[in-house]
């Protein structure tokens, strides 16, 4: 035991490199057992660069535009939870005298610039109860965090004011860790702060700026001509005073002015050979490095003179991918750190999956959004998704009973089907008019529709039956249950679609006789298909399509002869 104790005592302690890195950015705190840690990277340089570098500022503004757009919504499986969160955010924004869009834009801009955002929760005591009334966003470059070396926890945040504040370092404001939410993205293990995405590009931006300054000096240097003035000394001596006088006179001549001299003075321009200097190549190289590091392209920055549409789409794709990273980071941090805390403080909703509320940010790529939504709609139509799952993927809340009453089916499709049904009161006046024995003649004599050839009738009937066959296959599980129920809503809807398609393709006036025959005809077809249903499962080579279409087309002659013998207009 003694040997083990001595052995343990003399084991050298290995310092963690991350701890060493932290010590470089730390100082003694104002409280016992505390240290203050500044960001591992210089955020002040990023702030200055955002205000001075046009490429960097344009890239940041472009990401803000792509992520936020102009439509911010809250979605949840629980509509009441989403409405509650939206109400609370708008209430806080009213107190802060800013719109909801401005609040999230401020958060997003901090995350893009510094990968960190510090939000102070503001409270007001009413009747000895603290009420949350709003937020305050602290600039990331002016914040240091307080780390307790004993408990190994963050205990506070110090705000040092704006850079132009003369008391910036003397009188920092301390906020307890309980009232500050630290949002961060791109955080590396062992670091307190997130790493801004622009850090690897800073050296390239500085190099590009130096090259631009060098190119500017060369433009002024080689743009102005050097003039060599010669004074003839054949007839008289030339003194230094004469040379100084001529030089002084030349320097006083403006660019548009002239200098008059005797024939003893000649002027020769000195030409500078610039063939060996090619700064434009270096300038273009570092510009591409800056664009690549910022996740943008020359096309996105408005320099697409040589790029076609296809090239522009490919280059803008990387900008969209980077914007998606910022969008997901904003959504994740706001949902986990802010929305959860609002729920916890309100005590209204327990944290359950159905109460999960997230930001529904606008789509960055509209074409891609359309493709995804069409794919989801197709999966829903093929019974691979539920309605709630489909709407959740589309970032939309589930439908309520009130919403269903306002859908297209209830507003348009269903009324049209009811109006076209003969047994409904909507068509009674029309049917009564049709019973008039003294029916006048028109361009078709006493017929209600023009005569159409028999071959054309058969073709139209085939189209109608193929359509109704597709509808039967699509709604197979709803129609063919344990027992056929002709009062079921699915079969009633199928009969209504059959009538609509029938009268759409055949110029026949709707009447009770035809409607009754069509209903009986379709019911007979469904019975035959039901009897042959067993062959679908016993023999896999026979599919639903073959049986349904075969039964339908076998009855086309019955439908045709009925129309010839029982209705006007087809002969």
Query: Residue 278's closest CA among 218, 226, 224, 206?
Result: 218
Please determine, for residue 464, whether its predicted confidence score (pLDDT) is greater than 90. Answer: no
Cα angle value 294/298/301 (rounded, 5°): 80
- Distance, in Å, from the CA atom of 276 to the CA atom of 259, rounded to the nearest integer, reads 34
* Domain of 151, in residue numbers: 17-198
CA torsion angle 176 181 186 188 (round to 10): 30
More confident residue, 4 or 312: 312
In a domain, 48, yes or no: yes
Tally Cβ neighbours within 10 Å of residue 243: 12
pLDDT at 563: 66
Kindly indicate the confidence band of residue 170, based on its pLDDT and cuts at 50, 70 and 90: low
Burial code of 331-356, b = ≥16 C-beta within 10 A, e = fewer? eebbbeebbeebbeeeeebeeeeebb
pLDDT at 500: 81
In a domain, 127, yes or no: yes
Shared-domain flag, residues 48 and 80: yes
Shared-domain flag, residues 245 and 169: no
Please determine, for residue 353, whether its predicted confidence score (pLDDT) is greater than 80. Answer: no
- Residue 168, SS3 per DSSP: coil
Shared-domain flag, residues 292 and 249: yes
Under 8 Å between Cβ of 49 and 202: yes
Shared-domain flag, residues 153 and 231: no
- Distance, in Å, from the CA atom of 14 to the CA atom of 3, rounded to the nearest integer, reads 21
Question: Which of 254-268, 317-331, 507-521, 538-552 ranks highest by mean pLDDT?
Answer: 317-331
Kindly indicate the confidence band of residue 165, based on its pLDDT and cuts at 50, 70 and 90: low
pLDDT in tens, 240-271: 677 777 777 777 777 666 667 666 677 777 66
Give the phi and the psi of residue 475 in degrees, each rounded to 5: -105, 30
C-alpha 96: how far from its chain's center? 27
Gyration radius of the chain's alpha carbons: 41
pLDDT in tens, 397-417: 888 888 888 888 888 877 777
pLDDT at 431: 45
395: left (phi over 0), alpha (psi -120 to 50) or beta: left
> DSSP letters along 458-515, please?
HHHHHHHHHHHHHHHHHTHHHHSSSS--TTSHHHHHHHHHHHHHHHHHS-----HHHH
Shared-domain flag, residues 82 and 57: yes
pLDDT at 521: 79
- The rounded percent of the chain whose pLDDT value lies above 90 is 16
β pairing state of 226-231 and 265-270: antiparallel
Q: What is the mean pLDDT of residues 86-106?
A: 91
In a domain, 294, yes or no: yes
Name the maximum alpha-carbon separation found in the chain: 135
- Distance, in Å, from the CA atom of 373 to the CA atom of 570, rounded to the nearest integer, reads 45
The set of residues, in sequence order, having a beta carbon less than 8 Å from that of 458 and lying 6+ positions away, is: 556, 560
Final residue of a domain: which of 275, 304, 333?
304
In a domain, 334, yes or no: no
> DSSP letters along 511-551, please?
-HHHHHHHHHHHHHHHHHHHHTHHHHHH-TTS-HHHHHHHH
> Domain tally for the chain?
3
- The rounded percent of the chain whose pLDDT value lies above 70 is 68
pLDDT at 110: 95
Q: What is the mean pLDDT of residues 514-527?
A: 78
Final residue of a domain: which of 284, 304, 324?
304
Shared-domain flag, residues 112 and 211: no
Shared-domain flag, residues 26 and 172: yes
Please determine, for residue 364, whether its predicted confidence score (pLDDT) is greater than 50. Answer: yes
Give the phi and the psi of residue 122 in degrees, each rounded to 5: -100, 135
Please determine, for residue 101, whether its predicted confidence score (pLDDT) is greater than 50. Answer: yes
Kindly indicate the confidence band of residue 139, based on its pLDDT and cuts at 50, 70 and 90: very high
- Distance, in Å, from the CA atom of 391 to the CA atom of 383, rounded to the nearest integer, reads 14
Under 8 Å between Cβ of 396 and 75: yes
pLDDT at 391: 87
pLDDT at 279: 72
Kindly indicate the confidence band of residue 213, based on its pLDDT and cuts at 50, 70 and 90: confident
Shared-domain flag, residues 210 and 141: no
> DSSP letters along 397-410, please?
PPPPHHHHHTSHII
pLDDT at 4: 39
Under 8 Å between Cβ of 82 and 395: no
Shared-domain flag, residues 111 and 237: no
Lowest mean pLDDT among 79-83, 113-117, 232-236: 232-236
In a domain, 366, yes or no: no
Q: What is the mean pLDDT of residues 370-393?
A: 86
pLDDT at 108: 94
DSSP 14: P
Please determine, for residue 280, whether its predicted confidence score (pLDDT) is greater than 80. Answer: no
Q: What is the mean pLDDT of residues 228-248?
A: 70
In a domain, 340, yes or no: no
Kindly indicate the confidence band of residue 434, based on its pLDDT and cuts at 50, 70 and 90: very low
pLDDT at 445: 47
Please determine, for residue 14, whether its predicted confidence score (pLDDT) is greater than 60. Answer: no
pLDDT at 12: 36
Shared-domain flag, residues 157 and 248: no
- Distance, in Å, from the CA atom of 401 to the CA atom of 150, rounded to the nearest integer, reads 57
Question: Which of 81-85, 358-362, 534-538 ranks highest by mean pLDDT?
Answer: 81-85
> Residue 14 pairs with which residues in a beta bridge?
none
In a domain, 433, yes or no: no
Final residue of a domain: which of 283, 304, 325?
304
Q: What is the mean pLDDT of residues 471-484?
A: 70
> DSSP letters along 284-334, please?
HHHHHHHHHHHT--TTTTT--TT--HHHHHHHHHHHHHHHHHHHHHHHHHI
Lowest mean pLDDT among 20-34, 167-181, 255-269, 397-411: 20-34
In a domain, 502, yes or no: yes
Kindly indicate the confidence band of residue 557, based on its pLDDT and cuts at 50, 70 and 90: low
Please determine, for residue 307, whether its predicted confidence score (pLDDT) is greater than 60. Answer: no
pLDDT at 112: 94
More confident residue, 238 or 295: 295
Under 8 Å between Cβ of 81 and 355: yes
Shared-domain flag, residues 41 and 186: yes
Please determine, for residue 147, whether its predicted confidence score (pLDDT) is greater than 80. Answer: yes
Lowest mean pLDDT among 29-38, 81-90, 207-216, 262-271: 262-271
The set of residues, in sequence order, having a beta carbon less than 8 Å from that of 190 and lying 6+ positions away, is: 16, 18, 21, 22
Kindly indicate the confidence band of residue 119, based on its pLDDT and cuts at 50, 70 and 90: very high
Under 8 Å between Cβ of 136 and 180: no
The HSE-up count of residue 148 (CA atoms within 13 Å, CB side) is 10
pLDDT at 114: 94
- Distance, in Å, from the CA atom of 58 to the CA atom of 304, rounded to the nearest integer, reads 16
Shared-domain flag, residues 492 and 553: yes
Kindly indicate the confidence band of residue 346, based on its pLDDT and cuts at 50, 70 and 90: confident
Under 8 Å between Cβ of 35 and 28: yes
């Amino acid at each position: 035991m003694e040997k083990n104790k001595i052995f343990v005592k003399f084991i050298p302690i290995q310092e963690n490199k991350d701890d060493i890195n932290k010590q470089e950015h730390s100082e003694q705190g104002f409280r016992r057992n505390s240290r203050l840690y500044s960001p591992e990277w210089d955020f002040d340089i990023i702030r200055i660069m955002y205000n001075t570098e046009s490429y960097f500022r344009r890239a940041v503004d472009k990401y803000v535009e792509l992520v936020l757009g102009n439509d911010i919504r809250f979605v949840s499986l629980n509509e009441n939870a989403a409405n509650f969160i939206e109400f609370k955010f708008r209430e806080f924004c009213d107190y802060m005298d800013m719109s909801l869009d401005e609040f999230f834009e401020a958060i997003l801009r901090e995350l893009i610039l510094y990968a960190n955002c510090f939000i102070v929760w503001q409270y007001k005591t009413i009747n000895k109860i603290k009420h949350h009334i709003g937020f305050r966003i602290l600039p990331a470059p002016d914040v240091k965090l307080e780390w307790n070396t004993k408990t190994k926890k963050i205990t506070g945040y110090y705000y040092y004011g704006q850079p132009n504040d003369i008391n910036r370092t003397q009188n920092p404001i301390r906020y307890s860790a309980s009232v500050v939410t630290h949002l961060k993205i791109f955080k590396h293990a062992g670091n307190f702060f997130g790493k801004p995405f622009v850090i690897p590009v800073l050296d390239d931006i500085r190099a590009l700026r130096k090259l631009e300054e060098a190119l500017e000096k060369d433009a002024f240097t080689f743009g102005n001509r050097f003039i060599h003035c010669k004074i003839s000394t054949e007839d008289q001596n030339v003194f230094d005073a004469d040379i100084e006088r001529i030089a002084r006179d030349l320097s006083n001549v403006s660019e548009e002015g002239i200098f008059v001299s005797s024939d003893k003075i000649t002027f020769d321009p000195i030409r500078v050979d610039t063939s060996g200097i090619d700064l434009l190549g270096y300038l273009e190289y570092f510009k591409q490095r800056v664009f690549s590091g910022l996740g943008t392209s020359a096309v996105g920055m408005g320099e697409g003179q040589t790029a076609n549409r296809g090239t522009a789409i490919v280059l803008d794709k990387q900008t969209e991918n980077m914007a998606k990273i910022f969008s997901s980071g904003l959504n994740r941090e706001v949902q986990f750190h802010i929305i959860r805390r609002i729920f916890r403080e309100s005590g209204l909703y327990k944290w359950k999956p159905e109460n999960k509320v997230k930001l529904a940010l606008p789509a960055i790529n509209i074409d891609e959004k359309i493709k995804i939504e069409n794919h989801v709609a197709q999966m829903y139509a093929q019974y691979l998704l539920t309605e709630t799952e489909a709407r959740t993927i589309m970032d939309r809340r589930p439908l309520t009973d009130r919403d269903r009453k306002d859908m297209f089916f209830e507003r348009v499709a269903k009324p049209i089907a009811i109006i076209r049904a003969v047994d409904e009161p909507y068509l009674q006046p029309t049917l009564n008019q049709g019973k008039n024995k003294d029916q006048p003649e028109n361009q078709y004599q006493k017929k209600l529709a023009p005569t159409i050839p028999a071959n054309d009738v058969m073709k139209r009937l085939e189209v109608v039956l193929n359509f109704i066959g597709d509808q039967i296959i699509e709604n197979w599980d709803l129609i063919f249950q344990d027992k056929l129920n002709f009062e079921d809503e699915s079969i009633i809807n199928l009969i209504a679609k059959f009538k609509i398609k029938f009268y759409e393709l055949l110029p026949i006036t709707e009447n009770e006789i035809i409607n009754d025959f069509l209903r009986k005809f379709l019911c007979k077809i469904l019975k035959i298909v039901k009897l042959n249903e067993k062959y679908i499962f016993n023999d896999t080579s026979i599919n639903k399509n073959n049986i349904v279409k075969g039964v339908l087309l076998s009855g086309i002659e019955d439908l045709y002869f009925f129309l010839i013998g029982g209705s006007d207009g087809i002969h």
